[in-house]
């Protein structure tokens, strides 16, 4: 890393969500002096806390599938991944996941990626789906409709199946996972400073030199990593970066409904683009129900994540839970909305940007598009590899860094996450990536 300045060797990570905390851990492990700044009072209190924390492998690119497959081994061996005793741990629950068939993303288009990476799966027809997910309605209802559309209530004429991945599941407490990573990073020497908002990113001669807090405190550094989640676009603007990005990012409000289920839901996670929903069980007996951005619903874009309404709304709650209840007819739709509101940091092609920028020393781990919680264990590692190589002179834009995933041995071409990539046109146009 370039020296001869007061912040020589210091890496500032902006954001202590699951992504920033993971990056801090790996950078600290690799011997960097790391300072993490977060405006919140603790780790994982941004969009990470609202995450459904589903760990699945369906992505539209080889790099996407490989990263998710590698990362799930980190969740399986969470204590080993952290490498330190940090107290109570988030838990990975291997519930399995079934991706229901949908015309917009036929299985034939993405199963070759599972074959290439070695992700185990079972192909289910509608009879297998009915047998393996008791109580499920296997009807094909595509395309998703609004509740006030009469066709919403029409009977299905066909049945669908799906692809089941037994190794998928979810993490019990996403906020705790970030806290675990931050604690492990602290134990490796990273310095977390909470209630510290980055108000300016300073540079000299095309290279980042320091960040500044609102009270004027200046923190000299050689490298800055923007891991500010849905605030990442604002932080990029502070740094004046963005020229040459082929992919932009934008915050989008999201709701996830929490619905009590008397006997609990013990089935797999169900990804149901056919009805425009996804759901999973929760240890306490709730069913978590989210949406997959069906075309019939307005998207809740926002310019400022701090201005979004923080309470679930009756309209979204009713739509999400009623769709889930079409799939699980025994599910009752409560009168009162209950759940969480969060904000996605959506990239134009629903694929994250893990990259350097045109400002030397300024890196981004952004555009996580509602689907990168699962990849956090690997994002820290691949960003550390990228930063080390680029700071040592690698020209990542010309010859993208290749990351050797430690648990699977897979080689991941980080050009897939470049800010200057050709947009990923195979993406589903939804949170599924």
- The reply on whether position 236 binds ligand FAD by CB under 6 A is no
> Is residue 23 a contact partner of residue 37, using CB atoms and an 8 Å limit?
no
Question: Shortest gap between Cβ of 47 and ligand FAD (angstroms)?
Answer: 3
Judged by CB under 6 A, the residue of 82, 177, 198, 390 near ligand FAD is: 198
- The reply on whether position 326 binds ligand FAD by CB under 6 A is no
Question: Shortest gap between Cβ of 121 and ligand FAD (angstroms)?
Answer: 18
CB atoms within 10 A of CB 182: 27
Specify burial of residue 338 (Cβ count, 10 A radius: 0-12, 13-18, 19+).
middle
Question: Shortest gap between Cβ of 178 and ligand FAD (angstroms)?
Answer: 7
> Is residue 198 a contact partner of residue 238, using CB atoms and an 8 Å limit?
yes
Give, as ranges, the residues between 372 and 401 that touch ligand FAD (CB under 6 A): 372-374
Judged by CB under 6 A, the residue of 294, 342, 380, 433 near ligand FAD is: 342
Candidates 4-12, 161-169, 222-230, 389-397; binding stretch for ligand FAD (CB under 6 A):
222-230
Strands 218-220 and 277-281 turn out to be unpaired
- The reply on whether position 98 binds ligand FAD by CB under 6 A is no
Q: Minimal CA–CA distance to 68: which of 387, 396, 347, 405? A: 405
- The reply on whether position 90 binds ligand FAD by CB under 6 A is no
- The reply on whether position 367 binds ligand FAD by CB under 6 A is no
Question: Shortest gap between Cβ of 141 and ligand FAD (angstroms)?
Answer: 22
- The reply on whether position 180 binds ligand FAD by CB under 6 A is no
State the Cα–Cα distance between residues 105 and 430, nearest whole angstrom.
11
Q: Which residue is nearest to ligand FAD (CB)?
A: 17
Question: Shortest gap between Cβ of 8 and ligand FAD (angstroms)?
Answer: 22
Q: Minimal CA–CA distance to 193: which of 184, 182, 177? A: 182
State the Cα–Cα distance between residues 416 and 393, nearest whole angstrom.
20
Q: Minimal CA–CA distance to 16: which of 25, 6, 29? A: 25
Residues in Cβ contact with 272 at an 8 Å cutoff, skipping those fewer than 6 apart: 100, 278, 279, 292, 323, 324, 327
Binding-residue total with ligand FAD (CB under 6 A): 39
Q: Minimal CA–CA distance to 279: which of 258, 303, 310, 299? A: 258
Q: Minimal CA–CA distance to 345: which of 427, 420, 253? A: 253
- The reply on whether position 344 binds ligand FAD by CB under 6 A is yes
Candidates 103-111, 137-145, 221-229, 259-267; binding stretch for ligand FAD (CB under 6 A):
221-229
- The reply on whether position 293 binds ligand FAD by CB under 6 A is no
Give, as ranges, the residues between 10 and 49 that touch ligand FAD (CB under 6 A): 14-20, 37-40, 45-48
- Of 126 and 355, CB closest to ligand FAD: 355
Strand partners, 204: 207
Name the one residue in this structure whose structure tokens are 């009756």. 314
State the Cα–Cα distance between residues 106 and 428, nearest whole angstrom.
10
Judged by CB under 6 A, the residue of 371, 384, 418, 428 near ligand FAD is: 371
- The reply on whether position 333 binds ligand FAD by CB under 6 A is no
Name the one residue in this structure whose structure tokens are 């070695």. 118
- The reply on whether position 253 binds ligand FAD by CB under 6 A is no
Q: Given the rule CB under 6 A, which residues bind ligand FAD?
A: 14-20, 37-40, 45-48, 50-54, 197-198, 227-231, 235, 254, 256, 342-344, 368, 370-374
């Amino acid at each position: 890393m370039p020296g001869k300045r007061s912040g020589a060797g210091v890496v500032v990570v902006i954001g202590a969500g699951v992504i920033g905390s993971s990056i801090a851990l790996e950078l600290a492990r690799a011997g960097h002096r790391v300072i993490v700044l977060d405006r919140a009072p603790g780790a994982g209190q941004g969009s990470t806390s609202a995450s459904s924390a589903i760990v699945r492998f369906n992505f539209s690119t080889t790099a996407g599938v490989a990263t998710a497959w590698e990362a799930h081994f980190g969740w399986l061996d969470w204590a080993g991944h952290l490498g330190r005793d940090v107290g109570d741990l988030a838990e990975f629950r291997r519930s399995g996941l079934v991706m229901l068939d949908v015309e917009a993303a036929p299985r034939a288009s993405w199963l070759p990626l599972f074959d290439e990476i070695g992700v185990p799966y079972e192909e289910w027809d509608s009879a297998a789906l009915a047998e393996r997910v008791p109580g499920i309605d296997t009807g094909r209802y595509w395309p998703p409709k609004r509740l006030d559309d009469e066709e919403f209530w029409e009977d299905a004429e066909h049945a669908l199946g799906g692809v089941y991945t037994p190794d998928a599941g979810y993490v019990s407490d996403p906020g705790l996972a970030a806290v675990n990573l931050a604690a492990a990073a602290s134990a490796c020497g990273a310095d977390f400073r909470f209630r510290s908002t980055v108000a300016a990113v300073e540079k000299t001669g095309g290279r980042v030199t320091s960040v500044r807090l609102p009270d004027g405190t200046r923190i000299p550094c050689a490298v800055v990593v923007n891991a500010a989640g849905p605030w990442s676009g604002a932080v990029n603007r502070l740094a004046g970066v963005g020229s040459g990005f082929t992919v932009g990012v934008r915050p989008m409000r999201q709701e996830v409904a929490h619905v009590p289920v008397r006997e609990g839901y013990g089935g797999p996670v169900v990804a149901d683009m056919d009805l425009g929903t996804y759901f999973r069980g929760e240890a306490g007996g709730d069913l978590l129900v989210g949406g997959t951005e069906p075309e019939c619903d307005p998207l809740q874009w926002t310019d400022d994540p701090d201005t979004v309404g923080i309470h679930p709304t009756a309209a979204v709650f009713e739509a999400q839970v009623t769709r889930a209840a079409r799939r699980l007819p025994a599910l009752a739709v409560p009168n009162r909305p209950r759940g969480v509101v969060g904000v996605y940091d959506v990239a134009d092609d629903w694929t994250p940007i893990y990259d350097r920028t045109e400002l030397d020393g300024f890196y981004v781990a952004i555009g996580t598009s509602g689907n990168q919680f699962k990849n956090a264990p690997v994002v820290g590692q691949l960003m550390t590899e990228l930063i080390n190589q680029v700071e040592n002179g690698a020209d990542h834009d010309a010859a993208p860094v290749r990351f050797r995933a430690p648990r699977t041995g897979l080689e991941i071409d980080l050009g897939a996450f470049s800010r200057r990539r050709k947009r990923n046109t195979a993406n589903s146009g939804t949170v599924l990536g």
